[in-house]
Amino acid sequence: MAIAGAENNRSMTEHTINEMIQESKLLESYYNDILSKESMLHRLLEESHNSFEAIKNLSLDAETESLMPLGIGIYVKSAIYPINKVLVNVGGGVVIEKKKEDAVNFIEQRIKEFETASKQLSSQKQQISYRMMEIQNTVNSYVGQMQGQNYNQSDHSGHHHPH
């Protein structure tokens, strides 16, 4: 009877380990997804900061000399006329004209949103890491117990040692 109970316990333990391994794989997938989102957010933040600096440096009353990117690292010199308004993509393919100050405020707001999203992703990443470590420790513990049981069972498998 004790052997049947041990076998049933072993079966439950293997089932639990398999479930935990599946959960760990799913968590790893979420973790990698978060890393991708963090990378994208980092690029958006960098672009937002660059846009913020660029728009702040544009003059309201004089031409500003600039380099205009054509692609693959090719630039041409250009002049930006004095600006009072800029075109801003507000999402969904909608572009509206905004005063320079309003565009600066829009960029500042976007930067705050990106920073908040970055903090949330970092928190999620930390929670997932913690759960993955818990799973790893539990699986290691189960495997250690199973190896101990296998050792004990092979020790008492009907071989009698002389006293």
DSSP 117-128: HHHHHHHHHHHH
Q: Quick one: which H or E segment has residue 82?
A: none
Domain annotation for the chain: domains and CATH numbers: 2-57+102-150 (1.10.287)
Please write the tens of the pLDDT for every residue from 49-86.
999 998 888 878 888 888 889 999 999 999 888 888 89
SS (H, E, C) 1-69: CHHHHHHHHHHHHHHHHHHHHHHHHHHHHHHHHHHHHHHHHHHHHHHHHHHHHHHHHCCCCCCEEEEEE
Alpha-carbon separation of residue 102 from 84, 112, 155 (angstroms): 10, 15, 79
**What pLDDT does 117 receive?**
96
- What angle, rounded to 10 degrees, do the helices at 2-57 and 100-155 form? 160
Instruction: Give tens-digit pLDDT for 125-162.
Output: 999 999 999 999 988 888 887 777 666 665 555 555 55
pLDDT at 152: 62
